[in-house]
Amino acid sequence: MLLALGCNTMREGVIVTIIFFIAGILVILAGANIVPAMWHLNHIVVFAGFLLLLLAPIVLVSTFLLSVLPKAKERMDECEH
């Protein structure tokens, strides 16, 4: 089920957010400093980095919104912390 929220889903959402954020920063820095400017390749790489930075909070907010759905508290109470 696509909207199934469990203990692993919460952890995975936070981990994916951290990975997207760090990868976005690294890709932006690489596009600005390392990638050559031929064929506007550096702009494309920086744009991809900005997309990663944009996706990071979207994943985190969607994970939070899944956690406030009805019956999500019952599933989360079964988790071992």
Per-residue confidence of the chain (81 residues) as pLDDT tens digits?
455 666 777 888 899 999 999 999 999 999 999 999 888 999 999 999 999 999 999 999 988 888 887 777 777 777 766
Phi, then psi, of 6 in degrees rounded to 5: -145, -170
Range of the structural domain that residue 49 is part of: 20-62
pLDDT of residue 11: 84
pLDDT of residue 5: 64
* Residue matched to tokens 């406030």: 68
> Is position 71 within any domain?
no
* Residue matched to tokens 């988790």: 79
Q: Domains in the chain: how many in total?
A: 1
Question: What is the spatial distance between Cα 43 and Cα 79, in angstroms, rounded to a whole number?
Answer: 44
> Is position 11 within any domain?
no
Question: What is the spatial distance between Cα 26 and Cα 34, in angstroms, rounded to a whole number?
Answer: 11
> Is position 2 within any domain?
no
> Is position 14 within any domain?
no
> Is position 80 within any domain?
no
> Is position 52 within any domain?
yes
CB atoms < 10 A from the CB of 56, how many? 19
Amino acid (one-letter) located at 8: N
